[in-house]
A and B are shown apart, each in its own frame.
Chain A
Amino acid sequence: MLQAEEGDTVLVKKGVYKEANIKINKSIALIGEDMPVIDGEAKGEIITIGADNVMLDGFKIINVGVSYTTDYAAVRVVNSTGFVIQNLELQKLFFGIYLQKSNDGKVLNNKVRGEAVTEFNSGNAIHLWYCKNVEVIGNDVQKVRDGIYLEFSDNIKITNNISKNNVRYGLHFMFSNNNYVINNVFETNGAGIALMFSKFMEVENNVIKKNWGTASYGLLLKEVNDVNMINNLFIENTVGITVEGSNRLVYSNNDFTSNGYAIRVKGACYDNQIINNNFLYNSFDISYNGRINDNKFDNNYWSNYTGYDLDKNGIGDVPYRPVKLFSYIVNRTPETIILLRSLFIDIIDFSEKVSPVFTPDDLMDNNPRMKLIQHDRN
């Protein structure tokens, strides 16, 4: 490999190569035939790419060193552009694919199987730091800390990935703007997607399910602005979406099914629109604190709606109030949750529904639908 010139292709035959700290400093394509294994023997980093237009294809990389001071990765890309990293299989790793100040690349169809148990001694499968215009497509990451992690990275396309059983988040954004998250599956993670301090995102057609536990979320939004969440499925999460300090978000055409809370609004959220969603069999549809409401709820289907439709136009004649008094009380004094499903709670919920006293009285859906919305998901 040392003899390779710029632009060469290096084919690697099947076998087990016990090597660590491989440095690629030329624009070459390194292609493995029949998945050769590179065993790093836990010595530290395995492959470092420091040149533009490098392609890495078809390797099984195992045994990355674990360190508490250095983020060792199976593949690290430093200050490079035009890289393609595809069809890798990573096992026994610390960090998986670590992109650092690298732009215009692709990370395709990689398979990562970690063995993470705790947050502090595990790394992220795909980690982007100060990157731009990268496509992350068709990867399958399981059992690591964060499935996909982005920090200070803009214009990233994340599509068709599967992120499962991760200790912390399926997908984690920090200070990253203008990104697309489309057609991904996030299942049984600590939290499905965590969006923090980011803006201008598109989150579409994702399936976020079974993120279930006392501190689990489907989608965590903290200090994010101008995000569109369209056509996503939230199924059986403890909290479908928990949102704090976020403005100008659009939630439309989503399905919230069998979650503990569908949307939990923690405050300082203004000018959000919740339109055309299905809320099905959630313990609490919306949880809200504070009495000011500047968010718009319209044209949703609520399975808990009990109103009628006399003029048969498919829109209920009585507005629906999605905030139960009990969820309001629980927000104020969390200990009261222990009265969940008690007869007394049902009675006060009912009386609050009839005449709202504590919950914001303008927080309601004026046009609740009578029938389930059939979303077109293609």
Chain B
Amino acid sequence: MLKILKYSFYDLMRSRWSYVYFLFYLLLGIVLLFLNNDLSKAVITLMNVIIILVPLIGTIFGVMYYYNSREFTELLLAQPVKRSSIFLGQYFGVATSLTMSLIIGLGMPFVFYGIFNSSAIWDFSLLLITGAFLTFIFTALAFVIALSNENRIKGFGYAILLWLFMAVIYDGLFLMSLLYFEDYPLDKFSLVATMLNPVDLSRVLILLKLDISALLGYTGAVFQKFFGTSFGLILSFVMLVFWVVVPTFFIWRIAKRKDF
């Protein structure tokens, strides 16, 4: 598995897309810092980018990579290699290289700007950690979709739909249910609903670390009380890990049974 991971990783590292992705983040970081001159404000803007773009790119890239390397995968399958290690290797290769691009691309401008001497360092690291998690989660989901759909168009369609659901539609449903049940106490419900969607969970985790958390008022206080404790933080990271592990398990299972 490690060999395939290594191969996928190097293959991607040499590919154009990784560079484009890396350069995009590098540029974004530089532009943000030039325009803002304020590290903590830049972190807020980055948050918007990370919780929307990172899942999108993870999804599209995962699906694309799977379909593109299909012929090579078939060649590999003819060799005496375990199936699960082929697909898991590819998955981890893609996810790791995307994460690398994200962390190095964003990290470099901020490091040169002096993030280590700034109080925003923790916010920034949290941002990168959640970004990495989101990459792993959505690449895994993309692989699951790609593995279960032979038809490329269908696969792409489902992948986009998945992203749309997580990033937009879920919040819409969430909002509707909050408005519909406004007569009931909603603290617990909103906590649970936030925990269930990795995009929302990342957003809230970052928001609570920033100054604007004071805007959240009473609801924010409930959330702060939950996520502020180490139990809440651990639970939310467990949740994120869970979101990585479950799709990975599905990759493993589908790959084992799939007929090529």
Contact = CB atoms under 8 A, between A and B. Distances in A.
B152 to A, nearest CB: 26
B168 interface: yes
Contacts of A213: 214
Nearest to B180: A333
B214 A238 contact: yes
Interface in B163-210: 167-169, 171-172, 174-175, 178-179, 182, 186-187, 190, 194, 200, 203-204, 207
Interface string B126-145: 00000000000000000000
Given A216-B214, A347-B168, A340 B207 contact: yes
B216 A338 contact: yes
Interface residues of B, number: 33
Interface in A323-354: 329, 332-345, 347
B203 A342 contact: yes
A334 B220 CA distance: 10
A337 B171 contact: no
A81 B180 CA distance: 61
A333 B179 contact: yes
B168 A260 contact: no
Given A335-B187, A347-B168, A340 B179 contact: no
Interface residues of A, number: 25
B219 A335 contact: yes
Interface in A244-260: 260
B52 A343 contact: yes
Given A335-B219, A337-B219, A344 B168 contact: yes
B118 to A, nearest CB: 18
Given A212-B211, A216-B214, A337-B217, A344 B203 contact: no
A214 interface: yes
Given A214-B220, A344-B175, A260 B212 contact: yes
Contacts of B218: 214, 334
Given A329-B175, A344-B172, A338 B204 contact: yes
A212 B214 contact: yes
Interface of B: 47-48, 51-52, 167-169, 171-172, 174-175, 178-179, 182, 186-187, 190, 194, 200, 203-204, 207, 211-212, 214-221, 223
10 contacts: A214-B221, A215-B217, A216-B214, A335-B190, A335-B219, A337-B216, A339-B174, A341-B48, A344-B172, A347-B168
Interface of A: 212-216, 238, 260-261, 283, 329, 332-345, 347
4 nearest CB pairs, A to B? A344-B171, A260-B215, A335-B186, A333-B182
